[in-house]
Amino acid sequence: DPREKPNVVFVLGGPGAGKGTMCELAMNQLGWKHLSAGDLLRAERKEGGKNAALIEEYISAGKIVPVTITVGLIKKAMTTIMEETGIVNFLVDGFPRSLENWSGWQEVFGADAAMPTMLFFECPLPILEERIMGRAKYSGRSDDNVESLRKRFKTYKDETMPIVEVFKKAGKVVDINSSKPREEVWDLVKEKLAPWSD
């Protein structure tokens, strides 16, 4: 039923924490739909529409793109998927990254809509840096370089951690130690997602 409401779980954590890797596993093994806000923005940039240049400017500077753009892309992708597949379980990866992102979401999805659960991937900074710089060799991402990475870390600390705290205070955060090997992290994710998977 396309009118059914989406069942959303937010997935947050620093750059390179493994959000995308684990969401892909959840998609392939548990049938969740994976919506990476970053991937949606990169696709929009590639389309070359009116926001393409602005998106590139923000991404390479590690800054958060204005929320109306991001939430619009998420909502559009979600609606299409629900209409085409009837699937309502969504892992929204890399969003909300700030207090402003969260109010922008509430404006679109309704302030009275349930506050989603948030899987929070904890991983020490040196490991994040090692992972991103490892991926930099082949990712082609304009923000996978030392300079952009420093800026991404700063934005993460200054803007993303405060929204994680809001979700923590509301009892909505499920912590996952994502510094371990992939198989171990996946076992944790699988276990933590189970209550929301059907």
Q: 96: cis peptide before it, omega within 30°?
A: yes
- Which of residues 2 and 154 has its CB atom nearest to ligand UP5 in the complex? 154
Strand order in the sheet with 33-36: 33-36, 89-93, 7-13, 117-122, 173-177
State yes or no: residue 141 binds Mg ion (CB under 5 A).
no
Residue 20 CB, shortest distance to ligand UP5, in Å, is 3
Cβ atoms of residues 6 and 35 within 8 Å: no
For residue 182, the partner it binds in Mg ion, ligand UP5, none, with Cβ less than 5 to 8 A by kind, is: ligand UP5
- Residue 21: phi, psi to the nearest 5? -60, -45
| Cα–Cα dist 9/11, whole Å | 7
- Which of residues 65 and 82 has its CB atom nearest to ligand UP5 in the complex? 65
For residue 65, the partner it binds in Mg ion, ligand UP5, none, with Cβ less than 5 to 8 A by kind, is: ligand UP5
- Which of residues 82 and 93 has its CB atom nearest to ligand UP5 in the complex? 93
User: x/- string (CB under 6 A) for ligand UP5, residues 32-61?
Assistant: ----xxx--x----------------xx--
- Where do the DSSP E strands lie in the chain? 7-13, 33-36, 89-93, 117-122, 173-177
- Which of residues 63 and 192 has its CB atom nearest to ligand UP5 in the complex? 63
Q: How many chain residues are in contact with ligand UP5, going by CB under 6 A?
A: 32
